Structure 1
Amino acid sequence: MQSTLIVASLMMCFLGVSLAGSMPEYIQVCHRNDPELSKCLKSSVHNLRPYLAKGIKELNVPPLEPLYIGELSILDGSAGITVRAKKLNILGASNFEITKLRASTQNRRFDFELILPHLQGEGMYEINGNILALPIKGNGPFTGNFTNFLAYVRVQYDIKKSNDLDYLHVKEFALKIRTGKGNLKLENLFNGDKVLGDVINDTINQNFEVFTNEIIAPIARALETNFLAITTKILENFTYNELFPV
């Protein structure tokens, strides 16, 4: 009996080493019963950042730098103004820093709080209506710089079987953003009228938080969609036991 237990123990150790060796370097494995699971997960996600920035070809994960969102309807006219963005690129999304993380395997839920130290956006815009009691109209290129945006992420998951193997499946991925500081520059406002254009740009930047609170929801949804797609691509390539061994 004792020799059987020794052999079984050695086999388990061998399987554990083999499993760890088969995982790619960008996946830091966390044991599901680790009393410091949240700390391990935080380290694991931070370890992914440089790989996410460049993209992970073998998992079909596109580069996060820049994060291409493309066309985005920001305001649809219901608030008296229409704002659309085209060819929208965001730089800096991979430089996030997790400040808080709570993991519950019992409730199958992860809660993150993270900070985005610096985001830069660029693309084309179309705007028409009134904002901050001022009429505004124009279309053309725009640039934006945003600092210290806070994001709150809630991930609810379950475990599904495929070919007799367990995989993590994201049931819910919710992201909310609280605006920080920054500035925007909209070019070619009022058909290139510099005086009127400067007035609008100055007014927006003097009331930056108010302005961005108006437009942040669709941007958050776009980021939510992209991050969910990345998370799904990673999870579908590894079993639950590979990612979270006992």
Structure 2
Amino acid sequence: MTVKFIVSGVAVLLALTVCDAAKFPASYSLCKQGDDKCLLERIADTFSKHFPGIPEVNLVALDPLKIEKMDIVQGGEGPINIVLNFKNVDLTGLSKSTIKKASGFTADPTKMDLQFLVPVASLVGGYKIKGKVLILPIQGDGKSNMTMENCDIQLKWTGKLVDRSGKKFYQVDKLKVNFDTTRFIMHFSNLFNGDKALGDNMNLFLNENWQDILKELKPAITDAFALIFKNVIANVFNKVPYNKLYQ
């Protein structure tokens, strides 16, 4: 299994200089360190009110989160063997998230944890696919929609404070994602060179067998989510000194 992609506007900016303008705008309220209740509220506000992004601190637009390219290659001897290429897709729904947990944002952080529930998360845009799903061959090139209902996402990452020009920045080292969903809905247009009958039957087959398909694809999707969210988070941490994230 191989996962490769580039997130538009989310590539980590490893600038080694400190920009004095790297601070939150006046409209964004910060918390005192250790105020967990406030922290949950601010993160919730970030998703619901600041989802267009905060350029001052390198926070990209969260809804939609634009992804230029994402390739999922699922190989081996398993029931699913595909090459699935996404291009110019939008991840939508994050602005409706409910924040369930945020921990580890301490004075000397190492491990951090963020958990949130997205009622409807959709990945919409161009695709190209070729391979086998369960017992059936599949191929197509067109528009796609992959939607997860009640998507419970947990991010766990490790890192450390590093010194840059006399200021401390939090450096994200490893990030892992776990997610659960109550429904996984797929639709691929223009399957089998536009053969409507074959395409309709394949889409029906995919959605009737979504649990088995998601079980096989979940590791690849999880890896993709991990890279996406790591870039989003690291962008901010690389821009803003850690002590400037609090009052």
The normalised TM-score by structure 2 is 0.77
Give the whole-Å Cα distance in 2 for the aligned partners of 1:236 and 1:243.
Answer: 12
CA contact (8 A) 2:25 2:56 kept: no
Match in the other structure for 2:60: 62
Q: Which amino acid aligns with 2:62?
A: L
> CA deviation digits over 1:41-78, x for unaligned, max 9?
21221121245421222234332222121222222443
DSSP-derived class of the 1:168 partner: strand
Q: CA deviation at 1:170?
A: 2.0
Deviates more, 1:47-56 or 1:142-151: 47-56
Match in the other structure for 1:98: 99
Match in the other structure for 2:20: none
Q: CA deviation at 1:205?
A: 0.6
What are the within-5 Å matches in structure 2 for residues 184-203 of structure 1?
Answer: 184-203=186-205
DSSP-derived class of the 1:54 partner: coil
DSSP-derived class of the 1:46 partner: helix
Distance 1:61 1:70, change over 3 A: same
Match in the other structure for 2:89: 88
Unaligned runs of 5+ in 2: 1-22
CA contact (8 A) 1:52 1:61 kept: no
CA contact (8 A) 1:26 1:51 kept: no
Structure with more relative contact order (C-alpha pairs < 8 Å, separation 6 or more): 2
1:137 equivalent among 136, 139, 154: 139
Match in the other structure for 1:14: none
Q: Which of structures 1 and 2 has the bigger CA Rg?
A: 1
Give the whole-Å Cα distance in 2 for the aligned partners of 1:100 and 1:223.
Answer: 18
Q: Which amino acid aligns with 2:42?
A: S
Distance 1:62 1:111, change over 3 A: closer
Match in the other structure for 1:234: 236
Give the whole-Å Cα distance in 2 for the aligned partners of 1:202 and 1:149.
Answer: 22
What are the within-5 Å matches in structure 2 for residues 72-87 of structure 1?
Answer: 72-78=70-76, 79=78, 80-87=81-88
What are the within-5 Å matches in structure 2 for residues 144-223 of structure 1?
Answer: 144-223=146-225
DSSP-derived class of the 1:62 partner: coil
Deviates more, 1:99-108 or 1:59-68: 99-108
Distance 1:238 1:125, change over 3 A: closer
Distance 1:243 1:137, change over 3 A: closer
Q: CA deviation at 1:229?
A: 2.5
Deviates more, 1:224-233 or 1:115-124: 224-233
Q: CA deviation at 1:168?
A: 2.3
Identity %: 26
| Count of paired positions | 221
Give the whole-Å Cα distance in 2 for the aligned partners of 1:183 and 1:161.
Answer: 45
Unaligned runs of 5+ in 1: 1-21
Deviates more, 1:122-131 or 1:106-115: 106-115
Give the whole-Å Cα distance in 2 for the aligned partners of 1:70 and 1:218.
Answer: 17
Match in the other structure for 1:10: none
Superposed CA RMSD? 2.5
Distance 1:99 1:50, change over 3 A: closer
Match in the other structure for 2:31: 30
Give the whole-Å Cα distance in 2 for the aligned partners of 1:50 and 1:153.
Answer: 18
What are the within-5 Å matches in structure 2 for residues 35-54 of structure 1?
Answer: 37-50=35-48, 52-54=50-52
